[in-house]
Structures are given as structure tokens and as C-alpha cells.
Amino acid sequence: MTSAPLPAPVQAFAPDFARRLALILATLSAVIARRFPREPRLVGLIIPLWRRINRAARRFEHLMARLAAGTLPRHRRSGRGGHRSATVLPGGRFWLIRALGSEAVACATQLEALLAEPATAELLALAPSAQRILRPLARMLAIGAFAPRPRPARAAAAAPPEPPPLGEVASRSPGFTWYVVPTPSANPA
């Protein structure tokens, strides 16, 4: 753990943030419990999804308690294996919105408003592990706060070289390289 002092506003905001996030996630779990049993293809996802949401809520609550106490978590190196469940949840952005409809949109809107607060931005900047906890939830609910990082633009393809001047016969290879092919002269020597 680092001994760097945390700003007082962040320390004061952490417990409230954890409480509000827990309420949003509890609401989302209740919506899942009410709607998923109606869809036979989604019934098998109820328990794994609850586990993921509840685990995220517990981890986040623990992290916010540490921040409220004034300690920052250690930064861990990436590449460490994450928690894997036996049932794989669907991937892709906003799959939970598609499955649950407007009730999930309401939860997503509340979570997005919470993440848009200035104090949240400061808190997430101090604790990157909080971002790792929230990113899968934000992806399921299509929240823009954790949108995929833009990939660097590819370098523009170089324009093919100019063909040789008229009068010479040129042939082009598939790699945009022009070759001058000598032609037999009209006057044999």
C-alpha cells in the first residue's frame, strides 16, 4: 500500500459512492431476477450474472472502505489472470440492455450519472483498480465512461509511384512498383 495522502474530498466521497453503486447494482440484480426467468435462453445466466454483479459490488465496497481509511491499494501488474466462472456470460457491448430492455436502461442511466460526477473522476484516477471493477459492468450496460480506447490511426497508405514518362513501356507489379521494360528499337543496328 502506498502512504501517499489522499485528498480529503475523495476520502469523504468514497463511502457515499460505494453506497450509491451498491443500490444501483442491487436494483439491476432485482431486474435480472424478475425478467430472466421469463426467457428460457437466459435462465442459465441468472446465477453467474448475480455472482459477477455481487462480486463487483463487494470488491468495490472493500476498495472504497480502504480509500475512506486513507490508504491507496497497491498497483498490480497487468496480465494476472482474472476470476473465471464455469458459465461464460455473453460478450459485446450492451448485451444486458438488449436482454432486459428499459429497466436496464434506467440502471445504466443512473450508473452513468454517478460516473459522470467530478468527484468520481478524481476517485477513479486515484484508484485504477476501481476502473477494472467497473469496466465489465459498464460494457454490459453500454456506458460511455469506459468506452473502448480509440486505436491509433493507421498511417495513410502511400500513393503509388508515378508511372514512367510516355514512350516507355511500363509494367506494374502487385506491390505498386513500376518496372521499365525495354522495347526493341525500330531501327535494327
Position 1 scores a pLDDT of 46
- 151 or 59: which carries more pLDDT confidence? 59
pLDDT tens per residue across span 19-68: 999 999 999 999 999 999 998 888 999 999 999 999 999 999 999 988 88
Domain boundaries, the chain: 8-75+87-146
The model's pTM is: 0.68
Q: Which residues are CB-contacts of 158 (< 8 A; sequence separation ≥ 6)?
A: 176
pLDDT tens per residue across span 91-145: 777 788 888 888 889 999 999 999 998 888 888 888 888 888 998 888 888 887 6
Position 170 scores a pLDDT of 55
Tell me how far apart the alpha carbons of residues 28 and 15 are, in angstroms, rounded to a whole number.
20
Residue 137 and residue 60 in contact, taking contact as beta carbons nearer than 8 Å: no
What is the enclosing helix (H) or strand (E) of 181?
Answer: strand 178-181
Position 95 scores a pLDDT of 87
Listed as own residue / partner, the contacts of 94-102 with beta carbons closer than 8 Å and 24 or more positions apart are: 94/140, 94/141, 94/142, 95/140, 96/49, 96/140, 96/141, 97/140, 97/141, 97/142, 99/35, 99/36, 99/39, 99/42, 100/31, 100/32, 100/35, 101/35
Average pLDDT, the chain: 78
Tell me how far apart the alpha carbons of residues 113 and 102 are, in angstroms, rounded to a whole number.
16
The sign of the CA dihedral 45, 48, 50, 52 is negative
Q: What angle do CA 5, 63, 87 make, to 5 degrees?
A: 155
Position 123 scores a pLDDT of 87
pLDDT tens per residue across span 17-29: 999 999 999 999 9
Position 144 scores a pLDDT of 75
Break the chain down into helix, strand, coil percent, rounded to 5: 55, 5, 40
